[in-house]
Amino acid sequence: MVAELAALVIFVVAIGAEMLHSWRIRRIAPLVFGPTARPAHWARAVPVLRVLALTGLCWGLVTLMLLPPKIHAAETIPEDEMKHLLIVLDVSPSMRLEDAGEKKDKSRMKRAAVIMESFFERANMNRYRTSVIAVYNEAKMVVEDTKDLEVIHNIFNDLPMHHAFVSGETDLFSGLKEAAELAKPWNPRSTTLLLISDGDTVPGVGMPKMPVSVANAVVIGVGDSLKGSFINGHHSRQDVSMLRQLAIRLNGTYHNGNEKHLSTDLIDQLAVGGEENPFEKLTRREYALAICGLSALIYALIPWLLHYWGTGWKPGVFTSRKERAQARRESERARTTKQLHPSAP
């Protein structure tokens, strides 16, 4: 309330000062603005702009003075604002086939590691707790809610996790079921789900339903989608159609990561997904800072604008016939106005 009262006082004082200033200018208007004794059309709004700028500047500065100081702690995020990154990683033997990358000379698991490395470099991982679920013919929890990225790097860099499973058919849905159970108690729309697989032998039924905590889902395919490689009695390749259908059923996005990283736009979408509107986070401090900056800018620009564009009158010796004729017309118009309205300034 103190800031509003101070702004009101400045508003009244500024109006009085502008009225006095206008009266003083009116006495010498012909010397300043030429025979018409009038400024440029836009300059007539200058008194209003000055009053509003001074009032806004006063309110903003008093508000900032009265607010308690804000301490910015680097890299400190409250626990209730932390997000979750849930990775379901296919570790079946087909992920060891070397047909991924631009030159088709990397294993699918290695390509997944490169994609995630790029993701970690561009996403703000200080806001995330990361969990990894390995899936083959069943699902196994590898790490839960860690902030240590070195642990995640070690998982993706040739850790032979398929030896922890009994040989069999790949069951991606078991990994999704495990992910759904893990994410169920988390806050609504606080989780980003990444499923990395080549799509080999994905079942057509048994799709689990994700809890409300999952805000975004991305299915990342690795492996050559055109030419298959022989393994376990069949040709294995990235099943694009199956993975795309899986992404649709998850209400997510499919990305072919065999040659391209996740786009920056997609990472930005994942980063803001499920968060509140940034304008809703603005407090009285942010509004005061914005009004102070805008008011100071307007008040500083007014003298410069008036100097160059405040009037079209250019006193001095006329060098051309056109300028002399224009000055004569303006003088005659001003004389006629004075005769018709003797009381006019």
Mean of pLDDT over the chain: 82
Kindly provide the b/e burial profile for residues 113-142, where b requires at least 16 CB atoms within 10 angstroms of the residue's own CB.
Answer: bbbbeebeeebebebbbbbbbbbbeebbeb
pLDDT digits (tens, 9 = 90+) for 296-345: 999 999 999 988 888 877 666 555 677 667 767 777 777 777 665 655 55
Specify the pairing of strand 234-236 against strand 229-231.
antiparallel
Q: Which of 84-98, 190-204, 269-283, 317-331 has the lowest mean pLDDT?
A: 269-283
Single-letter amino acid code for the residue at 112: A
Predicted pLDDT at 180 = 92
Residue 274 pLDDT > 50? no
| Chain centroid, CA 156 distance in Å | 30
* Phi and psi, residue 193, nearest 5°: -100, 125
Residue 276 pLDDT > 60? no
SS3 143: strand
Residues 6+ positions from 71 with CB-CB distance below 8 Å: none
Q: Comparing C-alpha atoms, which of 273, 259, 275 is closest to residue 194?
A: 273
Rounded (5°) CA angle 203-180-111 = 65
Which residue bears the tokens 């849905």?
A: 173
Pairwise CA distance, residues 157 & 113, whole Å: 6
The count of C-alpha atoms lying within 13 angstroms of the C-alpha of 339, restricted to the half-sphere facing its C-beta, is: 6
Pairwise CA distance, residues 100 & 260, whole Å: 11
The CATH-assigned architecture of domain 83-270 is 3-Layer(aba) Sandwich (3.40)
Q: How many CB atoms lie within 10 A of CB 74?
A: 5
Which residue bears the tokens 């339903």?
A: 209
Q: Comparing C-alpha atoms, which of 108, 103, 91 is closest to residue 238?
A: 108
Predicted pLDDT at 99 = 82
Pairwise CA distance, residues 219 & 280, whole Å: 31
Pairwise CA distance, residues 36 & 337, whole Å: 9
- CATH 3.40.50.410 domain residues, the chain: 83-270
Q: Comparing C-alpha atoms, which of 101, 15, 97 is closest to residue 55?
A: 15
Q: Judging by beta carbons within 10 Å of its beta carbon (0-12, 13-18, 19+), is residue 193 exposed, middle or buried?
A: buried
pLDDT digits (tens, 9 = 90+) for 201-238: 566 667 888 999 998 899 998 888 777 676 666 667 78
pLDDT digits (tens, 9 = 90+) for 89-112: 988 888 888 888 778 888 888 888
Which residues make beta-bridge pairs with 49?
none
